Amino acid sequence: MKLSVIGLGYLGAVHAPCMAELGHEVVGVDIDQAKIDTLSSGQAPFYEPGLPEILKSATASGRLEFTTNMSAVADTTVHFIAVGTPQKQGSHSADMTYVNAAIDALIPFLKPGDLVVGKSTVPVGTAARLAAKIRAAAPGAELAWNPEFLREGFAVQDTISPDRLVFGVAPEPTAGDWSAQTLRKVYAKALSEHTPLVVTDYATAELVKISANAFLATKISFINAISEITEVTGANITELADAIGYDTRIGRRFLNAGIGFGGGCLPKDIRAFVARAEELGRGESLNFLKEIDTINLRRRQHLVEMTIEALGGRAFQKRVAILGLAFKPESDDIRDSPALDIAVQLHGLGATVTATDPHAIHNAQQKHPQLSFVDSLAKAVEHADIVLLLTEWNQYRDMRPEELAPLVANKNIIDGRNVLDPTQWRRGGWNFQSLGRP
């Protein structure tokens, strides 16, 4: 099939080569010329395991092209909208500027028999509004909503072999059936491998996506709230999570307590969901998500306070080593990163912050040039008064107390992700603290 992917951020830049890898002919469109140049040369514009390999093989196959020129989509029949919906400035709502602009730019090139497929995370009601617009401006073209559930760090695997597919289609049976049929062909490989498929209406498809992220955020804030209780009772949050996680109704995943969730999705999605519920006169229904957000942000604050306490009451001129800047391992994404937020807060309190990360330094430096960045764990911890493990990259999980001890000024460490073994570090003479564990 001939497909276009409009918007080449973390979502589109993965979706386009993965679709080409599945045998489709794909054109990727973005307004950013620098990004197009990078992608056209077969390079990934951000760190994502497996993406460089798939980009190279897809561009070499001749089935994948990138351009800033929207007219290139005229030759294709299925058009994925993969642009971002960030948090609007000064508001909790989603900023729909890029989705609206993408649709407006696409409409002049639509022809009867084309299918526009929304993948962006949008406020419920968006698909119905866009479908009406497309039908009025381009008769014979249809819209479907096909939310994306990929995780950064596993994006290629999640796109090629998703754990489920959701197609939100038009209410009219002929148009709806045709749209679902077209998407079945796009995803024929995954469907042949028995990937569960839910074919539903627009609103359900939009809500599935945002509810999934709200649920994941709730799970994380739930365990972090309980960890605030374990902290004052001497209980152990990791053992507690293991024990409740054995109940298959609960499950162990997304029950890792620590400094909480960040990234370009969970934080802004729960806020946008609340904002949309309020517009719909159902604000009360999602009020709990405000608490989820508050609990999450409180964890960062708590870590800053623990750091100051461990430093004897003030951060001023103390040397703080920050291990990890990305919002999670296997990503260079620093959007709403708890680690970077903590680094910036401590710098603001007068600490001498030295930060490192295997892949996110460049992005962090662009956003916060006031911080000092170094390219290795050893350099970061040199003469440190305290070491903060904030993003659980494997190299930080694997570090050993006896390797760090000769480098630091004071053997103080806080494990913000609960991945180190407290006994091992304390045996090495370290003042070891973590969140929610004794």
Across 322-351, b (16+ Cβ under 10 Å) vs e yields bbbbbbbbbbbbbbbbbbbbbbbbbbebeb
Indicate which single residue of 167, 327, 396, 432 sits in contact with ligand UGA (rule: CB under 6 A): 327
CA distance 239 to 249: 18
Residues of this chain, 148-167, that bind ligand UGA according to CB under 6 A = 148-152
Closer Cβ to ligand UGA, 27 or 150, answer by number: 150
Q: Which residues contact 281 (CB under 8 A, 6 or more apart)?
A: none
Size of the residue set binding ligand UGA (CB under 6 A): 21
CA 231 vs. chain centroid, Å, equals 28
CA distance 151 to 173: 33
CA distance 436 to 227: 4
Q: From the CB of 122, what's the least distance to ligand UGA, in Å?
A: 11
Indicate which single residue of 261, 393, 396, 430 sits in contact with ligand UGA (rule: CB under 6 A): 261
174 three-class SS: helix
Can you list the alpha helix ranges (DSSP code H) found in 107-256? 126-137, 155-160, 173-186, 188-192, 202-233, 237-245
Binding mask 93-122 for ligand UGA (x = CB under 6 A): ----------------------------x-
Q: From the CB of 204, what's the least distance to ligand UGA, in Å?
A: 17
Our finding on whether 388 is near ligand UGA (CB under 6 A) is: no
Indicate which single residue of 255, 272, 387, 390 sits in contact with ligand UGA (rule: CB under 6 A): 255
Our finding on whether 271 is near ligand UGA (CB under 6 A) is: no
Closer Cβ to ligand UGA, 17 or 436, answer by number: 436
Q: From the CB of 293, what's the least distance to ligand UGA, in Å?
A: 13
* Maximum Cα–Cα distance across the chain: 73
Closer Cβ to ligand UGA, 178 or 254, answer by number: 254
Contact 70, 29 (CB under 8 A): yes
Our finding on whether 330 is near ligand UGA (CB under 6 A) is: no
Our finding on whether 254 is near ligand UGA (CB under 6 A) is: yes
Our finding on whether 146 is near ligand UGA (CB under 6 A) is: no
Query: 51: which 2 tokens?
Result: 């993406």
Closer Cβ to ligand UGA, 121 or 182, answer by number: 121
Contact 325, 340 (CB under 8 A): yes
Residues of this chain, 180-219, that bind ligand UGA according to CB under 6 A = 213, 216
Q: From the CB of 413, what's the least distance to ligand UGA, in Å?
A: 19
Closer Cβ to ligand UGA, 216 or 315, answer by number: 216
What angle separates helix 126-137 from helix 97-106, to the nearest 10 degrees? 20
Our finding on whether 324 is near ligand UGA (CB under 6 A) is: no
Torsion from C-alpha of 338, 340, 345, 348, nearest 10 degrees: -170
Closer Cβ to ligand UGA, 256 or 410, answer by number: 256
Our finding on whether 422 is near ligand UGA (CB under 6 A) is: no
Q: From the CB of 46, what's the least distance to ligand UGA, in Å?
A: 12
Q: From the CB of 263, what's the least distance to ligand UGA, in Å?
A: 4
Positions annotated as catalytic residues are: 265
Contact window for ligand UGA (CB under 6 A) among 25-33, 82-90, 128-136, 262-270: 262-270
Contact 380, 356 (CB under 8 A): yes
CA distance 90 to 189: 43
Query: 87: which 2 tokens?
Result: 């948090």
Indicate which single residue of 220, 321, 351, 371 sits in contact with ligand UGA (rule: CB under 6 A): 220
C-alpha Rg value of the chain to the nearest Å: 23
Q: Which amino acid is at 129?
A: R
Query: 162: which 2 tokens?
Result: 């998703």
Our finding on whether 9 is near ligand UGA (CB under 6 A) is: no
Give me the sheet containing 412-415, strands edge to edge.
372-373, 352-356, 319-323, 386-389, 412-415, 431-434
Closer Cβ to ligand UGA, 93 or 213, answer by number: 213
Our finding on whether 263 is near ligand UGA (CB under 6 A) is: yes
Closer Cβ to ligand UGA, 227 or 354, answer by number: 227
Per-residue DSSP letter, 135:
H
Binding site for ligand UGA (CB under 6 A): 121, 148-152, 213, 216, 220, 254-256, 258, 260-263, 265-266, 327-328
